[in-house]
Structure 1
Amino acid sequence: MKSSLVLIGVAASAIAAQPAFAKEGDVLIRARAILVAPTESSGPVEPAFPASAVGVSDSVMPEVDFTYMLTDRIGAELILATTKHDAQGRGALSGFDELASTWVLPPTLTLQYHLAPEGKVRPYVGAGINYTIFYSTKASPALETAIGATTVKMDDSFGYALQAGVDIDLTEKVFLNLDVKYIDIDTTARLNTGGAINSARVSIDPIVAGVGIGFRF
């Protein structure tokens, strides 16, 4: 009899527990650790290095995002993060592990559709736009030793973003978040060495995988 009462109490507690599902007007704040893994491709660095190409390194950084629930199922998410990457030599420039370094700021706005807004496990998909700013871009010491003092500039980029993820309740207000995005980022890198200009078109197009904790307000 005692064990039956315990089981009934556990069941009642489970029924009474409120999921942290998002409702219209709620604000969700997530803090994630992200891996930014470029799926890069590039043209040659021309005119000086026609048989070359440029690669882009991975980066791991923190990220914060904010979601406003427009309805129980539709949310607008703003993603804020900045990451540092190295441009690496390929082909004729493969001897350079680092041609240049740059910081990347890619604010991204997506519109999400939440598939199971009242569940404890809530998958979602999203699509949106991205504007990427490149800043603090510098030629590497190895490149400057080889060709002389060089300034590097990378054009800002405007593109699309695709997203999929899931929120999993931990408490009524706190949830675990897993998220993956594909972001369209294309830029032209220009190297100015004493007035001689070399440039390369680079498609960075990273996959951004994140895991973190979210809070509902």
Structure 2
Amino acid sequence: MTFPSLIRALATIGLALTLPLAAARAQTAAPTDDLVAGSVLVRGRIEGVLLKHNGTTISRIGGYLDNSDSVTPEIDLSYFFTDHIAIEGETGLLHTTLTAKDTRLGNVSIGKVSSVPIFLVPQYHFLPNSRFNPYLGVGVAILPYFNAEAAGGLVRQLSVSNEVGTVFQLGIDYRVAGPWYANFDVKKLILSAHATANNGALSASGQVNPWIIGAGIGYRF
């Protein structure tokens, strides 16, 4: 065998050995910026909270409890257990103005209350290797309230109970460039509410089922 023939033979053998290894590596290696198993996605959003009454009733004076809409910042973190299954934890800061409407005394200002909503939502992501990655989630919503401020006048004291409910979520992540993602997200909360004023002289209870619509940016680690 001549030297050039030996070189060609060795090259052929080397190519035959390396091609299957390269193919296997290409099949198992995921793009580093995709949302796949082991990914951590941190997002920041601005959310609009549409808090309309839904069957709340007020003792003694009648009417219903109206909650003001608001805009609030939030931050969340999603961990991907698999390419499709993730769990998201979210928190923010919410300020709400309460008004008793259509009562026998007319419209009565109740006061203001703040809360730090906490959501824990398992999610299913449909297209982990796509630039567009829509997802659905159902989880738990916890609303611990604090800093309840009575409006004064007819309402001298205000207390709002902490609540636990259900959150339904629909959203989409869009990979903008590298590890950066844009996000649009809609949530529906199902929970009860209970508030008392003037040390229990007045009380309101019922369903408060707000829509939460948000948009923001995320970074994939």
Q: Under a length normalisation based on structure 1, what TM-score does the superposition of the two structures give? A: 0.82
State whether residues 106 and 131 of structure 1, in contact with CA within 8 Å, keep that contact through their aligned partners in structure 2. Answer: yes
Between the two proteins, the alignment pairs up a number of residues equal to 190
Aligned to 1:62: 73
User: Which residue number in structure 2 is paired with residue 158 of structure 1?
Assistant: 164
Q: Deviations over 1:148-201 (max 9, x none)?
A: x62111111111110000011111200110001011231211112xx5621010
Deviations 1:110-149 (A, max 9, x none): 0010001100011000010111111101111xxx22x2x6
Q: Structure 2: which 5+ runs fail to align?
A: 1-30
Are residue 44 (structure 1) and residue 57 (structure 2) matched? yes
Is 1:177 the counterpart of 2:183? The answer is: yes
| TM-fit CA distance, 1:39 | 3.3
Taking every aligned residue pair, what percent have the same amino acid on both sides?
Answer: 26
- Quote the residue 2:118 is aligned against: 107
Q: Which has the higher contact order (CA 8 A, sep 6+)?
A: 1
Question: Within the alignment, does 1:209 sit opposite 2:221 as a pair?
Answer: no
Task: For 1:61, give the aligned amino acid.
Answer: T
Higher gyration radius (CA):
2
- Do the aligned partners of 2:53 and 2:207 also contact (CA within 8 Å) in 1? yes
Structure 1: unaligned runs, 5 residues or longer = 1-17
Give the aligned partner of residue 98 of structure 2: 87
Letter in 1 for 2:59: E
Q: Distance in 2 between matches of 1:196 and 1:131?
A: 24
Pair 20,135 (structure 1): closer, same or farther in 2 beyond 3 Å = same
Q: 1:3-58, CA deviations, whole angstroms, 9 ceiling, x for partnerless residues?
A: xxxxxxxxxxxxxxx583211111000000000111322433212x03x1110001
Q: Does 1:120 align with 2:131?
A: yes
Residue 57 of structure 2 aligns to a residue in which SS? coil
- d(CA) in 1 for partners of 2:107, 2:201: 21
> What RMSD, in angstroms, separates the aligned Cα atoms of the two structures?
1.6
Distance in 1 between residues matched to 2:200 and 2:98, nearest whole Å: 19
Q: Is contact 1:19–1:171 with CA below 8 Å preserved after alignment?
A: no
Distance 1:42 1:191, change over 3 A: farther
Instruction: State TM-score, norm by structure 2.
Output: 0.81
